């Protein structure tokens, strides 16, 4: 990398991207995406800038001829201010574009990167990761902690491997279905009887 090239990089330093080969390709694509986005932004602003230039020039000609109304005099100032602001934005984007184009050339040559761009890449990559719901995040944390997916446990409320398979759900509670002949008058007491072992603390059944 020669001296003239290094002048394009604000940091003045370069690092090597010590990652798997697949990430080299990802970073190269990211650089190309940044270049494409910057070109699009510059093109859009330049089109607006040129159109605004024509508007401002026309207003100035009318102003010189004394044809402008009072509110149009203020419009000249506002339009001219916007014109210069857009011009400044275009210059800033062109500077960024030059940095990324030089970055792409250097990266494809020797794999070195501008630390500023690498930090930007890592930040955007992290932000693009799908966000887990609280439930899925808790499951993932449990998998990382124990190596076991709690959703595959017979009873996710009990620690895996402690000799218990599940909590009981009541004496033949499955018989308490509609149409099984339970009298409405006895339904309350029948339910209490069949689910007695779930009251005041759940019992555990051994495997």
* pLDDT digits 0-9 by tens, 170-182: 444 455 454 455 5
Average pLDDT, the chain: 74
Query: Would you state the pLDDT for residue 113?
Result: 85
The terminus-to-terminus CA distance of the chain in angstroms comes to 70
Strand partners, 204: 167
Quickly count: other Cβ atoms within 10 Å of residue 39's Cβ.
15
Domain contains 145: no
**112, 194: one domain:** no
Position with higher pLDDT, 44 vs 66: 44
Domain contains 118: yes
Query: Would you state the pLDDT for residue 30?
Result: 93
Position with higher pLDDT, 16 vs 201: 16
H helix runs in the chain, sequence order: 3-6, 21-64, 70-110, 115-127, 134-146, 187-194
Q: What integer is the mean pLDDT of 45-59?
A: 93
Task: Please say if the pLDDT value at position 13 is more than 90.
Answer: no
Over the stretch 98-121, which tens digit does the pLDDT of each residue have? 999 999 998 888 888 888 888 999
Full residue range of the structural domain in which residue 198 is found? 163-206
Quickly count: other Cβ atoms within 10 Å of residue 72's Cβ.
13
Who contacts 21 (Cβ-Cβ below 8 Å, separation ≥6)? none
Calculate helix-pair angle for 70-110, 115-127, nearest 10 degrees.
Answer: 100
Q: Is 150 helix (H, G, I), strand (E, B) or coil?
A: helix
Quote the CA–CA distance of 80 and 88 in Å, as a whole number: 13
**102, 169: one domain:** no
**96, 194: one domain:** no
Q: Is 135 helix (H, G, I), strand (E, B) or coil?
A: helix
Query: Would you state the pLDDT for residue 104?
Result: 93
Quote the CA–CA distance of 147 and 16 in Å, as a whole number: 35
Quote the CA–CA distance of 38 and 95 in Å, as a whole number: 10
The total number of structural domains that make up the chain: 2
Query: Would you state the pLDDT for residue 71?
Result: 79
**53, 123: one domain:** yes
**167, 123: one domain:** no
pLDDT grade for 6, boundaries at 50, 70 and 90: very low
Query: Would you state the pLDDT for residue 155?
Result: 54
Domain contains 85: yes
CB of 191 closer than 8 Å to CB of 176:
yes
Quote the CA–CA distance of 90 and 67 in Å, as a whole number: 32
């Amino acid at each position: 990398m020669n001296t003239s090239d290094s002048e394009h990089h604000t940091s003045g330093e370069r690092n090597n991207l010590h990652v798997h080969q697949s990430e080299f390709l990802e970073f190269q694509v990211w650089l190309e995406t940044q270049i494409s986005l910057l070109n699009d932004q510059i093109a859009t602003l330049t089109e607006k800038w040129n159109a605004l230039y024509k508007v401002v020039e026309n207003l100035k000609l009318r102003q010189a001829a004394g044809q402008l109304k009072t509110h149009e005099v203020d419009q000249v100032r506002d339009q001219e201010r916007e014109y210069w602001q857009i011009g400044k934005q275009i210059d800033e984007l062109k500077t960024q574009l030059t940095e990324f184009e030089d970055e792409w050339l250097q990266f494809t040559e020797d794999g070195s990167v501008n630390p500023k761009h690498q930090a930007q890449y890592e930040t955007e990559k992290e932000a693009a990761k799908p966000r887990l719901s609280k439930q899925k995040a808790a499951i993932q944390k449990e998998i990382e902690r124990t190596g076991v997916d709690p959703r595959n446990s017979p009873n996710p409320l009990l620690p895996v491997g402690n000799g218990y398979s599940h909590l009981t759900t009541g004496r033949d509670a499955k018989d308490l279905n509609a149409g099984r002949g339970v009298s409405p008058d006895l339904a309350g007491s029948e339910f209490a009887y069949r689910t007695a072992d779930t009251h005041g603390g759940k019992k555990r059944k051994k495997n």
